[in-house]
Structures are given as C-alpha cells and as structure tokens.
Amino acid sequence: MAAVHERESWRPEAILGRLVVLRRHRADNLRAFTRWYADPEVARLTRYQQAPLSSDEIQRFFYTRIMGSDFLAMAIHLRDTDRLIGTCAFSQLDGDNGSTLFHITIGERDAWGHGYGSDATELMLAHAFTRLALHRVALTVFEFNERAIRAYQKCGFVVEGRARQAIFRDGRFWDEIHMSILLEEWEARQRQARAGG
C-alpha cells in the first residue's frame, strides 16, 4: 500500500471523465461552498443536524478538510463548460488496510439528476483502485436519500449494513445505510464494461 503514502501522487491536478472533470480545489471555491452548505436541502441530505452550516463552520470545514492534507478532495466541474457544481473526497485513507471513506455533494441543485455525480464517483473509484492501490471504498448515506442510493448502486456499491433509526428527519427516524465496493467487484465491472455488457 505504499502508493497511499506518496501524497502528491494521490492528488492529481485533474481527472477527466465523460461528463465532468475533477480538479484540485482552489481557495476561491469557498464562495460556492458557502452557498451550497447554507442550502437547507443540501443540509437535509448530508448533515446529521437539521440546520445548515453557519458561514464560520463552512469556512472551517473548507480550510481544514477540503484544502487540508488529510482529505483527498476534488472539485467537480462540468466537462463542457468547466462550471463548478460540487465536491467529492476520500477521508480516513488507511494504507495498512487499503480502505477509505467516500463523500460527494453536488451543490448546484440544477445539476441534480443528470448523471454528474455518478460520473464523478466512477472517476474517484478508478483513482482509488488503480492509482492508490486500495482494496475497499465505503460510504454512508441516509435512508431517505433514495436518489443517492440508486446512484451508488449504479456505480457498484452494495449495502453492507445499517445503523438503525440513526437520524431524525421529517418527523420520523431513518436508518443510516452503510455501503461499499471492493477491488474485485470494481475489476469485474470493468471487465464487463469492456466486454460490452
């Protein structure tokens, strides 16, 4: 797992996809983060707390996590126009066990439902399993975020468990779903895609 420890090698300048381009975040992306994470619907889908993040919390999150060295965070841009629409990241990179946690937010609401998140996820999985030599990519998602669950399943993630009634939203308790994809599962999907299946 030595590749995980060569930090510059895990932070490419850009990764080109079919619909999106992943680029390293720049300091001026904070403006977009401030708008996205102040949106109540983004907060509802991504946060345990009911309220959106405050400006101070967003700034702290951006500089310590997104621009910090412990996350591998990439900005999601539309390939055709280079418009910034979201962010994705790996956290808890564990070279000894070959695992990481995946996070993604499409912050621009008009970009929801167009396959941009799936394209970005596929790019990050390819980066994880080829460049970083990882074995497992995991994530968590709230049970009510059905659109995200479908997108993750489309990319090959499988449900491996759930934290029952872990979050209170919309007047009731919901499960937090744990999903993952393993290297051999990803490789099988690649072979199937190459074979035209």
pLDDT digits (tens, 9 = 90+) for 88-141: 999 999 989 999 999 999 999 999 999 999 999 999 999 999 999 999 999 999
CA dihedral defined by 48, 179, 71, 136, rounded to 10 degrees? 160
The enclosing domain of 32 has a CATH number of 3.40.630.30
Give how many domains the chain has, as a whole number.
1
pLDDT (mean) for 145-167: 97
Unique residue bearing structure tokens 């993750």 = 152
Does 105 map to a domain? Answer: yes
Does 110 map to a domain? Answer: yes
Per-residue tokens: 158 = 């499988």
pLDDT (mean) for 30-56: 90
Beta bridge partners of 100: 137
Q: Are 186 and 125 in contact (CB under 8 A)?
A: yes
Does 32 map to a domain? Answer: yes
- Judge residue 141's burial from the number of C-beta atoms within 10 Å of its C-beta, 0-12 exposed, 13-18 middle, 19 or more buried: buried
Does 62 map to a domain? Answer: yes
Three-state secondary structure call for residue 47 = coil
Q: How many other CB atoms are found less than 10 A from the CB of residue 42?
A: 20
Does 40 map to a domain? Answer: yes
Does 111 map to a domain? Answer: yes
pLDDT for the residue numbered 54: 87
Does 61 map to a domain? Answer: yes
- Domain holding 38, by residue range, is 2-139
Does 21 map to a domain? Answer: yes
Residue 15: closest CA among 70, 94, 73? 73
